[in-house]
Amino acid sequence: MIGMLRGEVIDKTASFFILDVRGVGYLVKAHFGLLADLALGDEPSIYIHEHIREDQQDLYGFATRDELEVFEILISINGIGPKAGLAICGSATTSELRAHVTKGDAAWFATLPGIGNKTAQKIILELKGQLVEVEKDSKEDIELIEALKSLGYKTAQAREAAKSVSPDTSDASDRVREALKYLSK
């Protein structure tokens, strides 16, 4: 899977940009905030979500890892696809999104394109408690969460399993084993 790309922006439209990485042009879909920040010739590092379906393979790009994680949490909600997730991520910063979820501000979510009142309520209900600050995770927890995500677990599951690991366990493979025991229950 592709996790990050670094290269030169060689083309840009209202919904995507093309990133030339050593001669290969990757079409990366992005929200308008990121697209507005990019100029032709820029050489950004972009965090990538690779969305694969039977008939399509899309890359979605984000400026920060935190933004990528919020997007992945959003699209894990039944009824929220990548297009709606991208629209939500582009409508506010990650800290503003967290604030709207914490306040239970479904009305704000309902103003976004493709999000009705029922979906807005569902977003609030499912995201309460899931959108935690990434900075609160220790370096070891972040590594464990990434390892569990590479095994197919969702971010929320991986973060919960990381919390269950004893702080006395320092070896990375022992931490993964403990987390997997927790997830198998």
Q: Does any domain span residue 19?
A: yes
Answer for the pair 175, 144: CB distance below 8 angstroms, yes or no. yes
Residue 17 phi/psi, 5-degree rounding, is: -135, 160
- pLDDT at position 134 is 40
**Same domain as 144, residue 116:** no
The domain boundary, picked from 15, 31, 62, lies at 62
Q: Write the pLDDT tens digit of every residue in 40-57.
A: 999 999 999 999 988 999
**Same domain as 69, residue 58:** no
**Same domain as 76, residue 55:** no
- pLDDT at position 5 is 96
Q: Does any domain span residue 132?
A: no
**Same domain as 12, residue 49:** yes
Cβ-count burial of 138 within 10 angstroms (0-12 exposed, 13-18 middle, 19+ buried)? exposed
**Same domain as 11, residue 53:** yes
pLDDT, averaged in runs of 10, over the chain (185 residues) = 94 96 96 94 96 92 92 88 91 87 88 86 81 58 86 82 85 90 86
Whole-number Cα distances in Å, 165 to 54, 69, 113, 140, 175: 37, 21, 40, 11, 6
**Same domain as 95, residue 84:** yes
Q: Which range of residues forms the domain containing residue 87?
A: 65-127
Nearest one of 133, 183, 137 to 157, comparing CA atoms = 183
How far apart, in whole angstroms, are the C-alpha atoms of residue 4 and residue 23? 16
Q: How far is CA 56 from the centre of its chain?
A: 19
**Same domain as 44, residue 33:** yes
Q: Does any domain span residue 157?
A: yes
Number of domains in the chain: 3
3-state secondary structure of 6: strand
**Same domain as 118, residue 71:** yes
The CATH number of the domain where 21 resides is what? 2.40.50.140
Nearest one of 39, 43, 12 to 27, comparing CA atoms = 12
**Same domain as 102, residue 82:** yes
Supply the pTM of this predicted model: 0.68
The CATH number of the domain where 119 resides is what? 1.10.150.20
**Same domain as 56, residue 78:** no
- pLDDT at position 31 is 94
How far apart, in whole angstroms, are the C-alpha atoms of residue 33 and residue 151? 31
